[in-house]
Amino acid sequence: MKKTGARRLELVLLAVGMSLLALYLASRLYSVVASRAALREFAAISGQTPMDGVDLPAGREHVDFSLWSEKRRAAYEESLAVHFDGPIAVLRIPQLSLEVPVFDGTDELVLNRGVGRIIGTGRPGQAGNVGIAGHRDGFFRCLKDIQVGAQIELATPSRNISYAVDEMTIVEQDDVSVLRPRTRPALTLVTCYPFYFVGNAPKRYIVHAHITESNFPSGNKETIREVKTTNQQEVTK
């Protein structure tokens, strides 16, 4: 009788374990599908395909959650129940196998779903310094591995803009000087630091990148060329 009872208990526990595993896998799949859906929505209006021109390592064609905290994964899944306007751009960093939708604004729901343009900074596809923020325990945790010279692509519905990383720095959380316009069109990525700090991280990790090429309309190209020429003259002084 004892053996029969123990066997039944084992079967019950096995069934419960399999059910929990199935729920977990379904949740992960739903998260990936929802993230890709935002990228497909952007692709539909821009005529692009997700990860177009980006060579990813095998098995990394979807969002990689391996660096995420459990808290951030849960927050991401909760954000899926909220309606969002479509992304205004897609940020790609091939070196880090990152592709993430960029939404307008930086409220908590936005940063749980993707990354957000910092209001008051340049808009993707326009001249200026485009500031984009993301969570250190979510999409932007991989920035800990970024290197000077890394290529960044910011794709909007009408054009692609390429940047190259020229500096990483750590600043106080209230230092907004890093978002000021630079001598040429630029991109600034912002996340909290240290990356694995327990609690509210006290500092900000900043990635500065300068424009390298784009398919801006001809009028904007002239503006960019003038800014670059001015910058070169300043450097030679």
Nearest to 180 by CA among 46, 63, 171, 33: 171
Side chain identity at residue 119, one-letter code: I
- What single-letter DSSP state applies at residue 71? H
**Bridge pairing between strands 129-133 and 186-193:** parallel
β-bridge partners, 116? 103, 133
**Active-site residue (options: 62, 142, 192, 210):** 192
Please, are residues 42 and 101 in contact by the beta-carbon 8 Å criterion? Answer: yes
Q: Which H or E element spans position 89?
A: strand 89-93
- What single-letter DSSP state applies at residue 21? H
User: Tokens standing for 100?
Assistant: 């993430």
Note the Cα 60 to chain centre separation in Å. 15
61, 127, 226, 231 from 178: Cα distances, Å: 32, 16, 23, 18
Separation of first and last alpha carbons in the chain: 92
Q: Is 76 exposed, middle or buried (0-12, 13-18, 19+ CB in 10 A)?
A: buried
**Active-site residue (options: 135, 142, 208, 210):** 135
Catalytic residue flag (residue 135)? yes
Catalytic residue flag (residue 142)? no
Residues carrying an active site annotation? 135, 192
